[in-house]
Amino acid sequence: MSQYLVLSRINIQNANCIAGFTYGFPAITHFLGFTHALQRQLSSEFDIAFDGCSVVSHDYQLHVYKPSKYGNYEFKQSKSSYTFKPKFEDGKMKGPSIIEEGKMNLIASMIIEVSRELETTEEKIKQFKRAVLAQCLQNRLAGGAVLSIGYIDLFSASTSQQQETLTRNIKRLTMPGFVLTDRSNYLSEHLQYLREKQADAEQLDAWLDFSAMKYQAQPKLKENEESASLDTDADWHLIPKPQKGWLVPIMTGYKAISQVYPPGEVENTRDTVSHTCFVEAVHSIGEWRSMHRVGDISETIWKYQQQDDWYLCAQKTITPSAQSTTLSVESETIDFETAIADL
């Protein structure tokens, strides 16, 4: 039996959009942390457990601006929210320093996988939905305030026919939207390709081929020119990414860079009862896929995977046949009405 809790169209204000050294959308660890916190709050009243979640983006608004027409985007910053003691230099008051923060407003849906199913009596489900809504509105998601949730529902399936109905219902609640999928396999495949050409290629080289916007010059040779020189004109062409799809750099977890310290040994920690370990962010590649392309909801669920010093978020491994199917339809165009009709 499979069971999913769907939080459709969560309106989030002032969420953190910086993830490691990338920005644009909250890290997947924010949503898994929200899922874990929600389980702990509900478990005292309901016998239920959550195993992971998937994230569907509907709309977003970054708090950025351009200082000039051809300038880079910069985050909108404010000093008013920080308490400081005025300092005077040369008879003038000096303002506080700015701690750079990247904020955004977004509308997203979450599909939470239930690992210990809730008894599905009608009255209990209504009570459960009310409790979920109350807790979500009190919690922070990616550091932002949850203003509203469009719809909350709990779906269950125990047969293949019920599973198809469950998938259709969840897709209706989360369309139009794009679900974040793990494409770390693309990174490992491209690294192997690079090392065949250059033995000392590193994972950073492969990651930058997906993340950076690269251009290549195509010299415009004249009739009497055999090779390009510094004075030769050129056309600049964008180098495509190694794979097709809406691929983005993402942060997928942490790696320990220190030993685990006992409680109270490290100063200025959040509490004196928890162990402490210093970590660095781990980056990978993700893909935004339209929800109408999703065939199995379980393949979109992110879960924690911990081994030794690695604490990562990952999804189910997609078979090579499934990958080739995905790549072969990337150029297909379909409108929203057609997608709804096919459900």
Q: What is the pLDDT of residue 322?
A: 35
Q: Is residue 241 part of a domain?
A: no
Phi-psi category of residue 20: left, alpha or beta, with phi > 0 → left and psi -120 to 50 → alpha: left
| Tokens at 300, concatenated | 């979109």
Burial status of residue 33 (CB atoms within 10 A of its CB: 0-12, 13-18, 19 or more): middle
Whether pLDDT at 68 is above 50: yes
Q: Is residue 82 part of a domain?
A: no
Specify the 3-state DSSP secondary structure of 43. coil
Q: Is residue 291 part of a domain?
A: no
**What is the number of structural domains in the chain?**
1
Whether pLDDT at 65 is above 50: yes
Whether pLDDT at 326 is above 60: no
| pLDDT tens digits, one per residue of 158-203 | 888 888 999 999 999 999 999 999 999 999 999 999 999 988 889 9
Q: Is residue 343 part of a domain?
A: no
Give start and end residues of each alpha helix (H) in 281-319: none
Q: What is the pLDDT of residue 92?
A: 64
Supply the mean pLDDT for the chain: 84
Calpha distance 49→38 (Å, rounded): 10
**What CATH number does the domain containing 140 carry?**
3.30.70
Enumerate the β-bridge partners of residue 153: 6
SS3 helix, strand, coil % of the chain, rounded to 5? 25, 35, 35
Q: Is residue 10 part of a domain?
A: yes
How much of the chain exceeds pLDDT 70, in percent?
86
Q: Is residue 27 part of a domain?
A: yes
Most confident of the ranges 30-44, 67-81, 329-343: 30-44
Q: Is residue 317 part of a domain?
A: no
| Tokens at 109, concatenated | 């849906």
| CA atoms 36, 38, 44, 50: torsion sign | negative
pTM value is: 0.82
Q: Is residue 149 part of a domain?
A: yes
* Domain extent at residue 14: 2-64+99-180
Phi-psi category of residue 21: left, alpha or beta, with phi > 0 → left and psi -120 to 50 → alpha: alpha
pLDDT confidence of 84, banded at 50, 70, 90?
A: low
Calpha distance 55→27 (Å, rounded): 10
